[in-house]
Amino acid sequence: MDGTDEGLFSWFTVNFLLDRFGAGPEHTAVALDLGGGSTQVTFALDKDEEAIFRAHDPDSVHEINAFHNKLAVYTHSYLGLGLMAARHAILTADQEGNTSVIHNVCINPIVSTEWEYAGTTYTLKGPKDPTIIHIKEKKGTVAEDRPIVNFTQCLSTVQDYVAHKVYKPKGLSRREINAFSYYFDRAAEVGLIDERVGGVVSLKQFMDAAKTSCNTPNVDQPLMCLDLTIISVLLKDGFGFESKTKLNLFKKIDNHEISWALGLAFHILENGL
């Protein structure tokens, strides 16, 4: 299944389970899916938006018939902006030669960990010139020299990769946003949501969690700083969300799993396949 179909079927599943069909496109929800190799953004267009998107990106506008409601739906799959693909591109951007040992500003100086991608195993380490902060006691004496990720440098590195790769679709922030896959997983892993029931998280909370992770040496989650920074930059600089923008992060709606499977089943029934 290609990214376009995956985006459309996931979007249908979300809006079917939320019972959003029949009241117009402005009442439907946005579906954001962050996979390993690509990320998809999908939402229904009103008449004005449809005209704009058909002029700008006609191949990404699709006619959907949902329960006798005809909707123009925008979906775009960004190959290379999935979490694992973005990780790999950012980590290897300044790779020297064919070495599998990588030093990167988004890795804490205390970390030395192995990571496999596309059949290659890399040894990931922090920068050769580490950032150290001095944690002082109330008396003013230094209690700890803490190695951290320089968040400003890491943020800039991620922004350089994401920049100009995503078209900022207007109208996203005006709609309810439902995000899943790695958005959910990383939020749950750092305690932003309950992994059993999900929750609602703002972009600011993602960004704050990224800063906290980058400032905390953690060999158990050696890539969390990078992952949360990628997610924050994708949402802010890629999709143009504001800090206050809320994302609904749930794996299930009314005890039904959010996936493309339900949307595909409906498509098959509608088309008599």
Binding-site residue positions: 36-40
CB neighbour list of residue 200: distance below 8 Å, 6 or more residues apart: 193, 246, 247, 248, 249
What whole-number distance in Å separates Cα of residue 168 and Cα of residue 239? 5
Instruction: Detail the residues annotated as belonging to a binding site for ATP.
Output: 36-40
Burial zone of 221 (CB within 10 Å; 0-12 exposed, 13-18 middle, 19+ buried) = middle
Q: Would residue 63 show up in a list of annotated catalytic residues for this protein? A: no
∠124-237-156 over CA atoms, to 5°? 40
Q: Measuring CA to CA, how many Å separate 143 from each of 109, 127, 150, 245?
A: 19, 24, 20, 38
What whole-number distance in Å separates Cα of residue 35 and Cα of residue 79? 10
CB 208 within 8 A of CB 244: no
Catalytic residues: 6
